[in-house]
Amino acid sequence: MLRLTPLLTLLALPIALTRLICYYKRQRLRSHILSPVPEAIVLSAFPILWFFGFLYYTEVPSVLLVVWTVVAALQGDHWLAALVCYVIRMYSSEVVDDHS
């Protein structure tokens, strides 16, 4: 079960990256949610991400949550971005380290 979390988030990362790429390129999103743009697939298949994704189980979910936060903030959904930031803060210590 511990290795299933990074696998599922690695598979969900192209969907989040598609929203981010389409926003910056000012393109319309594809009609089907499970059809990411090729750039998102290439970025999510970055070898370092896949290596560390299965080495440390919290790295990839943290990347996915950060991308989701940026997408939500860019789309004007600031409450969702704040909620996801809170989840990041509670979930992972490598993104935000308070040294306390």
Q: Which two tokens stand for residue 77?
A: 């959904």
Residue 99 has a pLDDT of 55
Q: Are 6 and 51 in contact (CB under 8 A)?
A: no
Quickly count: other Cβ atoms within 10 Å of residue 86's Cβ. 11
Residue 95 has a pLDDT of 54
The full length of the chain comes to 100
**Radius of gyration of the chain, Cα coordinates, nearest whole angstrom:** 14
Q: Which two tokens stand for residue 47?
A: 């070898």
The span from the CA of 73 to the CA of 78, in Å, is 5
Residue 9 has a pLDDT of 87
Q: Which two tokens stand for residue 71?
A: 């997408």
26-70 confidence digits (pLDDT tens): 888 777 777 888 898 898 888 887 787 777 777 788 888 889 999
Q: Which two tokens stand for residue 87?
A: 């989840």
Listing DSSP states for 48-64 in one string gives HHHHHHHHSTTHHHHHH
pLDDT band for position 82 (50/70/90)?
Answer: very high
Residue 96 has a pLDDT of 54
